[in-house]
Structures are given as structure tokens and as C-alpha cells.
């Protein structure tokens, strides 16, 4: 009678072993032995049946090995990223200080060069948050609100980076306008996130965000003279109109999924 | 490491039914030979390993309940005995109750007597319904034969998802969306009761049964054909008519009997599904008794035909239950569902044919047997019907007293009388 080792070895005959395969074989072997012990404890005495039963619980070993291998690689990447974030933070701070001092001494522009430190740190925070957003998004839906909050904070950090460059380095007038634009971008980013991750009832997000973002957009476009203040205010009723169109379109789309059974009356009688 | 299984929607629903019944499904099969206990043990262990929910304990977690897979020994599941009074031993075994937090959810008994075998199985309805239990029995017999005769390992049992939403799998995308939007409370609101005695602490579980002969069934079938009625319609008509007489309902009262329907009718292929529940209720309603039983039959046929025309038959209410269990923690959702759900006071489950060729063990077909649903707590009742060798066994499992048993027996007398009338029509 064949043993579990024979089954595993035969399945992976000719497969290149780079260490990962050994770990996988070991894991499968341990699990098979554990299952065999459990089933024997239950009272099964026929060894052939025991073998067939346990092997039937471990089908498609090769396919599963590919998944295991991919998971191992992902784990390694994650470990590397964790180390990179820890040591990178220290390294980045050192690098930023060196760059800041070097640029400041060379240009003597001390009034502006502090932006290097602040923007550098903010950009690093955005990078770390993007890693967490990706990880949280891979978790159960119940955790997705955390990712959405982090996304909003990230957008605001990017907005601040742009604002500081605009104000302290480029000395542009109306730099503050970047903030209302940033708020609009928070809504846009969250709506995109809801769409990409197929959140339930995301239409409610759209319906709230459109009228909420429009005043910010109005201020931004109006202050930059891209649109006149009057009749630019029409953007607000336009937002309500867009909402109504979305609601109407959704209702029309849902209508074709409405099922009117012929037994409706029978249900009501009860 | 502790293995956990997801508690599916129907597991939770059947757990909620603890106020209405004992949730046990019963089967009894008679064979005219002594089956091999060692083979039986091997097959049972393999099946329990293939369907781990059968050796799991239900954990009533207030937030989200689940099953914990438990170790077991075959002797916990199987009992073998040589009783002197077989009927009493069978009855004692079948009326037992397996608590959901028990380590095993199915018990099997083999009673040997005079060179014959009576095989009895009791299982928790939370694990599977009558439809899958029938499949389980057929797979059990096939695997038993393959192992006993050809030494083929008995591991051929369906495995896969136990989720309620498998019923939508064979619908088109549009149909799926339609079916998943059927938010409707389809609970029965009829207050007509089966005339049992009030609850008492002395009540005990009993299974009353009555056989309808093959000749009578043939007559009923032939008569049904004339009226465009199925056997199910005929049984239901006799049930309605007998109830009016037994309980003295006003002849002009509208009465509803909930009929169990197998939701697997919506699936073309169930080969990759786990053992689970896919049963819902269809509320069969008649507006009045009618002057004769044939008028009652007309109402029943009309009512059941209406349901048969509905392509989403039985799927109403599922999205509502899903929503109920999804939005709140389990403890709260149970309370909310209890408010909206009303358990049918009168119900019928036609489990269908137990095919003797598929239930044969080593060439020995079962000589007799039946399957029945849970023991209902008063005032709820469920009439079960199974057909084996063209003999219909009507059964009713009740937790009651001797008086209740007499009432149920009288009800069966009326059923027989009314089926006779229908057969002559």
C-alpha cells in the first residue's frame, strides 16, 4: 500500500525544489498525518480506506503549491516592506536633514527650505498610509471604513504638500485655494474607492458627495476666474440636478429587475 | 487547532425553530438480512469525515454563531443491539433529541432481530433537510455496497458549499438580481390550529404513522389524473378536509397549510454542493372548505398551480432573512426575525419516494421504512409523507400525551376515509 510520502513525492516528481517546495511538502505531510490520527481515533481500521480518505482531502496538490508559493512570495515582500518602512523612516529623516542643511547653506534660502523637511515627512506618511490602505482593503469589508479614513487623510496630506510648495517656495497668490480643491478631491477619491471595491449602497456616497463637493469646486473655479461668480453659483443647483438624474437612472435600471409574480394575490390572501 | 465551520443562514433559522420543534429528522429502514456492522462503521466514519458538520458542535455566539468540529468515536454515533421488543426500541431511539451543542449531530442505530435488520437514523435538521438526507441515504447504500462487494473506499459523498445562496447559481444574472430582491415576508398568518390538548410537563415525543396501501395509492393517482391533480394535491386535499372535520372549523373559513418545497428545483446540478438545507414553505390556501371534497380539491389544485407558475417559487423571503441576519448581531437579529416570522401552525412535507433499488444493501432492498420530520411542539403540527414500494407512510411527530396520540390517530382515520372518497372520484 502506498504511503502519504509516496503520494506527495509522486505528485511533485520532476518539480524543482528551491526550499519552498520542501516546506510545502512538509506542511502537507504534517496535515495528512494529523488527519490520519484523528480518523484512526474515530475508529477507522481499514488502512486502504484511511489512505484514500485522507488523500481525497488533499486533491490538486500542484495547484495548491502554486498558491502556497505565491503566498510565500507575498509574505516575503510584506516583510521587506515592513523593514523598509521602519528603517526607511530613520534613513529618510537623516537624508531630509542633510538635504535641508545642504540646500539651505548653498542657497541661503532658509525661509523656504524648511518645506523640504515638512513635505518630505508628509510624502513619507502618504507612502506608509498607502501601504496600509492596500492591506486593509484586502481584509473583510467591515474594515474598509478604516481604509477610507486613511485615504481621506492621505489626500489631505498631499494637498498640504502642494499648498506648502505653492505658498513657501513658489509664492503663488491664492495658494489657499488648494484646500477647497483638496476637499473636493477627498470626495472624488472616496467615490473612486467605493466604486473600485464595489461597496454596497455606494450610490448614497455619490448622492451626498456631489452636492457636498460642488461649493468647494465653485470657490476654487470662481477664485481662479475660470468661471464667473455669477452665474457660476448655478453649479449648486446643477449638483442637485445631477443627483436627481442619478436617482432616476438607477430607478429605471432597477425597474427591469423588479419581478411581479402571478401569485402576488395568493401571498396577500395569507 | 480548532476547526470552525460557518453557520449558514438555514442553520441559524433551524436553530431559531427550537421554540417550535426538536429539529430532528428521522428515518427507519427494514432489511431482511443482517447487515455487516464493520462495513457500516467504515462507511459512517468516512461520511462523517466528508461532512464535518455532522461531528460539530453549534456555538450560539451572540455576534456570529458557528460550528466547532469535534473529535468523536464511532461508538458515539452507532449503537448495535438485539432488542426483544423491536418496536419499542425503535420508538425510543427515534424520539431522542440531539442538542445542537452536542459533539455529534447524527446518531445511527442497528437493531437485529430474527435475522433481519432495522436501521434507524436521527439527525439534526440544522445540518441537512429531507432532500439531502435522502441523498445521504442513497450515497450511504451505494458506498456500503461498493465497499462490501468490491472493496472500493466509501468516500463518494458530495462536498461543497452549504450556503443558502447556492439556489441562485443556475439563474441568469438578471434573474439572480430579481430573485435577490424578493424582499417579502411570506409567513403564514392563519390561526387555525390542529385540535391538540394544552401543553403539559408530562408530554413526551411520539411518532404516529399510518400506511396507505399501494392499491389505494394507485386509485388516488388515477383519480387525481382525472382532476388534473398530483398525489401531493390529493394528500393535501384530504388533509384540509379532515382538518375541517376534526377541528370543527367553520366550513366558510379560509385555511392555509404550509407545504415544504425543495429549493433544489432551481438547480440543474447539485453535485458540487455540501449537505445542507434548501427547503422553504409554500402557503397553500383555500378560501373555504367547499360543499364536497372535490370542491376542496379544486381549490387546492388552483392554489398549488399558482405557485408552480412562479419561476421564483420558494425564494421569497430569503433576501429578507439574509438582511435580518446581516445587519445585526445574531442575538438581536433572532429577536427581530421572531417578530416578523410566524411559524405555520399546519404544515405538510411530502418527502417523496424512497427508491428501494437505491437503498438496497448487498442486493437486499428495504422491505419497509419511512422518513419523517421534526417532533413539533404544540400547537404546531407537520404531516410528513414518504413513499416506499408504492406504499405511502403518513406520519406526524408530536410532543404530547396519550390523548393527543388518539387525536392524531383519529385524524389518520379521517385522512384514510377522505382519500377513499377521493380515490372513487
Identify the bridge partners of residue B257 per DSSP, sorted by sequence position: B284
Q: Is the pLDDT of residue A151 over 70?
A: yes
Q: How many CA atoms lie within 13 A of A247 on its CB side?
A: 10
- Pairs from A222-227 (Cβ < 8 Å, separation ≥ 24): A223/A174, A223/A177, A224/A174, A224/A177
The answer on B245 and B208 residing in a single domain is yes
The answer on B185 and B123 residing in a single domain is no
What residues of B are in the A interface, CB distance below 8 Å? 38, 41-42, 45-46, 48-49, 71-75, 147, 151, 153-155, 174, 177-179, 181-182, 184, 186, 188-190, 254, 256, 283, 285, 287, 303, 306-307, 309-310, 312, 316
The pLDDT tens digits of the residues spanning B147-176 come to: 999 999 999 999 999 999 999 999 999 899
Residue to test with chain B: of A257, A258, A260, A264, most B Cβ within 10 A: A257
Residue of B nearest to A38 (CA): B71
What residues of A are in the B interface, CB distance below 8 Å? 38-39, 41-46, 48-49, 52-53, 56-57, 254, 256-259, 261-263, 266-267, 269-270
Residue to test with chain B: of A141, A259, A262, A264, most B Cβ within 10 A: A259
The answer on B190 and B137 residing in a single domain is no
Taking the CA of residue B32 and the nearest CA in chain A, the distance in Å comes to: 27
Contact A43 B45 (CB under 8 A): yes
- Residue B278 in any domain: the answer is yes
Q: State the average pLDDT for chain B.
A: 94
Contact A269 B48 (CB under 8 A): no
Residue of B nearest to A57 (CA): B50
Nearest to A259 among B45, B72, B182 (CB): B182
Range of the domain at B353: 169-424
Taking the CA of residue B159 and the nearest CA in chain A, the distance in Å comes to: 10
> For residues B219 and B239, what is the distance between their CA atoms, to the nearest angstrom?
17
Name the grid cell of B92. Answer: 425510543
DSSP 8-state symbol, B280: E
Question: Which residue would you say has higher pLDDT here, B308 or B284?
Answer: B284
Q: Which of B89-98, B199-208, B243-252, B306-315 has the least mean pLDDT? A: B306-315
Question: Which residue would you say has higher pLDDT here, A264 or B338?
Answer: B338
Identify the bridge partners of residue B23 per DSSP, sorted by sequence position: none
Residue of A nearest to B55 (CA): A42
- Residue B158 in any domain: the answer is no
Kindly compute the dihedral angle of the four CA atoms of residues B235, B186, B179, B133, in this order, to the nearest 10 degrees.
Answer: -50
Nearest to B283 among A57, A261, A270 (CB): A270
Contact A266 B307 (CB under 8 A): yes
Find out whether B144 and B40 touch, Cβ atoms under 8 Å.
yes
Phi/psi-derived region of residue B83, left when phi > 0, alpha when psi is between -120 and 50, beta in every other case:
beta
The answer on B264 and B135 residing in a single domain is no
Identify the bridge partners of residue B116 per DSSP, sorted by sequence position: B113
The answer on B313 and B208 residing in a single domain is yes
List chain A residues with CB under 8 Å of B47. Answer: none
Q: How confident is residue B308, by pLDDT bands cut at 50, 70 and 90?
A: confident
> For residues A114 and A116, what is the distance between their CA atoms, to the nearest angstrom?
5
Nearest to B155 among A45, A53, A266 (CB): A53
> For residues B282 and B314, what is the distance between their CA atoms, to the nearest angstrom?
6
The pLDDT tens digits of the residues spanning B29-66 come to: 999 999 999 999 999 999 999 999 999 999 999 999 99
> For residues B278 and B286, what is the distance between their CA atoms, to the nearest angstrom?
26
Q: What pLDDT is recorded for position A255?
A: 81
Question: Which residue would you say has higher pLDDT here, B158 or B317?
Answer: B158
CB pairs under 8 A between A and B: 83
Contact A42 B147 (CB under 8 A): no
Taking the CA of residue B402 and the nearest CA in chain A, the distance in Å comes to: 33
Residue of B nearest to A53 (CA): B155
Nearest to B310 among A38, A43, A261 (CB): A261
Taking the CA of residue B345 and the nearest CA in chain A, the distance in Å comes to: 13
The answer on B328 and B192 residing in a single domain is yes
Q: Is the pLDDT of residue A268 over 80?
A: no
Identify the three-state secondary structure at position B95.
coil
The answer on B173 and B89 residing in a single domain is no
Identify the bridge partners of residue A66 per DSSP, sorted by sequence position: none
Nearest to B72 among A42, A57, A270 (CB): A42
Taking the CA of residue A48 and the nearest CA in chain B, the distance in Å comes to: 7
> For residues A44 and A51, what is the distance between their CA atoms, to the nearest angstrom?
11
> For residues A269 and A31, what is the distance between their CA atoms, to the nearest angstrom?
57
Q: Is the pLDDT of residue A267 over 60?
A: no
Which value does ipTM take for this structure?
A: 0.89
Helix (H) or strand (E) holding B296: helix B293-308
Contact B184 A267 (CB under 8 A): yes
Residues with Cβ < 8 Å from B312, sequence gap 6 or more? A259, A261, B178, B179, B182
Nearest to B75 among A38, A43, A269 (CB): A43
Nearest to B153 among A43, A53, A266 (CB): A53
For residues B399-411, average pLDDT = 96
Q: Which of B17, B8, B56, B7 is nearest to B260 (CA)?
A: B17
> For residues B386 and B308, what is the distance between their CA atoms, to the nearest angstrom?
21
Contact B49 A53 (CB under 8 A): yes
The answer on B204 and B96 residing in a single domain is no
The pLDDT tens digits of the residues spanning B104-133 come to: 999 999 999 999 999 999 999 999 999 999
Q: How confident is residue B184, by pLDDT bands cut at 50, 70 and 90?
A: confident
The pLDDT tens digits of the residues spanning B356-367 come to: 999 999 999 999
The answer on B247 and B139 residing in a single domain is no
> For residues B57 and A83, what is the distance between their CA atoms, to the nearest angstrom?
42
List chain B residues with CB under 8 Å of A251. Answer: none
What is this structure's pTM? 0.86
Taking the CA of residue A92 and the nearest CA in chain B, the distance in Å comes to: 43
Residue to test with chain A: of B155, B160, B172, B342, most A Cβ within 10 A: B155
Q: What pLDDT is recorded for position A261?
A: 62
Taking the CA of residue A164 and the nearest CA in chain B, the distance in Å comes to: 44
The 10 Å Cβ neighbour count of residue B47 is 21
Q: How confident is residue A265, by pLDDT bands cut at 50, 70 and 90?
A: very low
> For residues A130 and A124, what is the distance between their CA atoms, to the nearest angstrom?
10
- Residue B155 in any domain: the answer is no
Residue of A nearest to B73 (CA): A42
- Residue B382 in any domain: the answer is yes
Nearest to A262 among B72, B186, B309 (CB): B309
Gyration radius (Cα) of chain A, Å = 30
Identify the three-state secondary structure at position B319.
helix
DSSP string over A98-121: HHHHHHHHHH--HHHHHHHHHHHH
Identify the residue whose cell numbers are 452636492.
A211
Contact B45 A39 (CB under 8 A): yes
Is it true that the peptide bond before A231 is cis, omega within 30 degrees of 0? yes
List chain B residues with CB under 8 Å of A261. Answer: 310, 312
Residue to test with chain A: of B2, B46, B178, most A Cβ within 10 A: B46
The answer on B181 and B68 residing in a single domain is no
Contact B177 A257 (CB under 8 A): yes
Q: Where are the domains of chain A?
A: 4-58, 75-255
Contact A270 B256 (CB under 8 A): yes
Q: Which of B135, B156, B150, B25 is nearest to B355 (CA)?
A: B135
> For residues B8 and B161, what is the distance between their CA atoms, to the nearest angstrom?
10
List chain B residues with CB under 8 Å of A268. Answer: none
CATH number at residue B52: 3.30.559.10
> For residues B101 and A75, what is the distance between their CA atoms, to the nearest angstrom?
38
The answer on B178 and B120 residing in a single domain is no
List chain A residues with CB under 8 Å of B287. Answer: 269
In chain B, the number of structural domains is 2
Q: Is the pLDDT of residue B322 over 50?
A: yes
Q: What pLDDT is recorded for position A266?
A: 41
Q: What pLDDT is recorded for position A17?
A: 82
List chain B residues with CB under 8 Å of A52. Answer: 153, 155
CATH number at residue B282: 3.30.559.30
The answer on B265 and B123 residing in a single domain is no
What are the angstrom distances between the C-alpha of A109 and each of A95, A117, A175, B353?
Answer: 18, 14, 20, 92
Question: Which residue would you say has higher pLDDT here, B96 or A257?
Answer: B96
Q: Which of B196, B173, B127 is nearest to B345 (CA)?
A: B196
Amino acid at each position: 500500500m502506498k504511503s502519504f510520502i509516496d503520494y506527495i513525492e509522486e505528485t511533485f516528481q520532476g518539480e524543482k525544489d528551491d526550499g519552498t517546495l520542501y516546506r510545502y511538502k512538509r506542511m502537507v505531510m504534517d496535515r495528512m498525518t494529523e488527519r490520519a490520527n484523528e480518523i484512526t481515533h474515530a475508529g477507522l481500521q481499514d488502512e486502504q480506506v484511511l489512505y484514500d480518505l485522507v488523500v481525497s482531502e488533499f486533491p490538486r496538490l500542484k495547484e495548491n503549491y502554486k498558491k502556497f508559493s505565491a503566498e510565500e512570495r507575498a509574505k516575503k515582500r510584506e516583510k521587506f516592506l515592513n523593514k523598509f518602512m521602519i528603517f526607511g523612516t530613520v534613513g529618510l529623516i537623516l537624508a531630509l536633514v542633510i538635504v535641508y542643511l545642504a540646500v539651505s547653506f548653498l542657497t541661503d534660502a532658509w525661509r523656504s527650505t524648511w518645506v523640504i523637511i515638512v513635505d518630505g515627512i508628509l510624502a513619507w506618511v502618504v507612502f506608509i498610509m498607502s501601504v496600509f490602505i492596500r492591506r486593509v482593503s484586502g481584509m473583510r469589508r467591515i474594515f474598509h471604513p478604516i481604509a477610507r479614513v486613511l485615504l481621506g487623510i492621505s489626500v489631505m496630506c498631499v494637498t498640504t504638500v502642494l499648498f506648502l510648495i505653492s505658498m513657501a517656495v513658489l509664492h503663488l497668490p491664492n495658494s489657499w485655494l488648494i484646500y477647497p480643491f483638496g476637499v473636493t478631491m477627498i470626495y472624488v477619491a472616496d467615490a473612486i474607492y467605493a466604486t473600485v471595491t464595489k461597496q454596497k449602497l455606494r450610490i448614497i456616497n455619490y448622492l451626498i458627495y456631489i452636492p457636498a463637493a460642488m461649493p468647494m469646486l465653485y470657490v476654487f473655479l470662481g477664485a481662479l476666474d475660470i468661471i464667473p461668480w455669477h452665474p457660476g453659483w448655478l453649479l449648486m443647483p446643477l449638483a442637485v440636478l445631477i443627483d436627481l438624474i442619478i436617482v432616476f437612472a438607477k430607478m429605471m435600471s432597477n425597474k427591469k429587475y423588479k419581478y411581479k409574480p402571478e401569485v402576488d394575490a395568493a401571498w396577500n390572501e395569507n | 487547532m480548532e476547526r470552525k465551520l460557518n453557520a449558514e443562514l438555514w442553520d441559524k433559522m433551524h436553530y431559531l425553530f427550537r421554540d417550535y420543534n426538536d429539529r430532528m429528522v428521522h428515518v427507519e429502514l427494514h432489511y431482511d438480512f443482517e447487515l455487516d456492522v464493520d462495513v457500516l462503521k467504515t462507511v459512517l466514519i468516512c461520511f462523517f469525515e466528508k461532512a464535518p458538520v455532522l461531528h460539530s458542535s453549534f456555538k450560539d455566539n451572540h455576534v456570529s454563531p458557528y460550528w466547532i468540529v469535534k473529535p468523536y468515536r464511532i461508538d458515539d454515533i452507532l449503537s448495535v443491539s438485539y432488542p426483544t421488543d423491536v418496536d419499542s426500541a425503535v420508538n425510543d431511539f427515534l424520539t431522542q433529541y440531539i442538542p445542537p451543542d452536542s459533539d455529534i449531530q447524527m446518531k445511527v442505530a442497528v437493531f437485529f432481530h430474527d435475522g433481519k435488520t432495522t436501521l434507524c437514523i436521527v439527525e439534526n435538521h440544522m445540518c441537512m433537510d429531507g432532500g439531502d438526507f435522502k441523498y445521504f441515504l442513497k450515497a450511504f447504500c451505494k458506498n456500503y455496497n461498493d465497499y462490501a462487494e468490491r472493496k472500493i473506499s466509501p468516500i463518494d459523498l458530495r462536498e461543497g458549499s452549504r450556503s443558502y445562496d447556492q439556489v441562485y447559481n443556475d439563474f441568469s444574472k438578471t434573474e439572480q438580481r430579481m430573485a435577490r430582491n424578493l424582499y417579502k415576508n411570506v409567513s403564514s398568518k392563519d390561526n387555525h390550529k390542529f385540535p391538540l390538548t394544552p401543553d403539559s410537563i408530562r408530554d413526551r415525543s411520539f411518532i404516529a404513522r399510518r400506511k396507505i396501501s399501494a392499491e389505494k395509492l394507485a386509485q388516488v393517482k388515477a383519480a387525481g389524473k382525472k382532476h388534473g391533480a398530483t398525489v401531493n394535491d390529493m394528500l393535501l386535499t384530504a388533509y384540509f378536509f379532515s382538518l375541517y372535520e376534526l377541528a370543527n372549523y367553520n366550513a366558510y373559513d379560509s385555511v392555509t397549510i404550509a407545504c415544504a418545497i425543495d429549493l433544489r428545483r432551481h438547480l440543474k446540478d447539485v453535485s458540487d454542493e455540501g449537505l445542507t438545507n434548501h427547503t422553504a414553505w409554500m402557503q397553500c390556501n383555500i378560501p373555504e372548505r367547499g360543499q364536497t371534497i372535490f370542491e376542496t380539491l379544486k381549490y387546492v389544485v388552483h392554489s398549488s398551480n399558482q405557485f408552480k407558475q412562479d419561476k421564483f417559487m420558494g425564494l421569497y423571503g430569503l433576501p429578507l432573512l439574509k438582511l435580518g441576519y446581516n445587519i445585526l448581531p445574531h442575538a438581536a437579529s433572532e429577536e427581530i426575525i421572531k417578530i416578523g416570522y410566524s411559524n405555520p401552525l399546519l404544515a405538510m412535507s411530502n418527502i417523496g419516494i424512497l427508491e428501494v433499488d437505491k437503498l438496497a444493501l448487498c442486493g437486499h432492498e428495504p422491505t419497509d421504512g419511512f422518513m419523517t420530520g421534526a417532533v413539533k411542539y404544540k400547537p404546531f403540527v407537520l404531516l410528513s409523507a414518504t413513499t416506499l414500494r408504492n406504499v405511502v407512510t403518513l406520519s406526524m411527530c408530536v410532543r404530547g400525551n396519550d390523548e393527543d396520540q388518539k387525536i392524531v390517530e383519529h385524524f389518520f382515520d379521517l385522512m384514510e376515509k377522505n382519500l377513499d372518497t377521493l380515490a372513487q372520484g
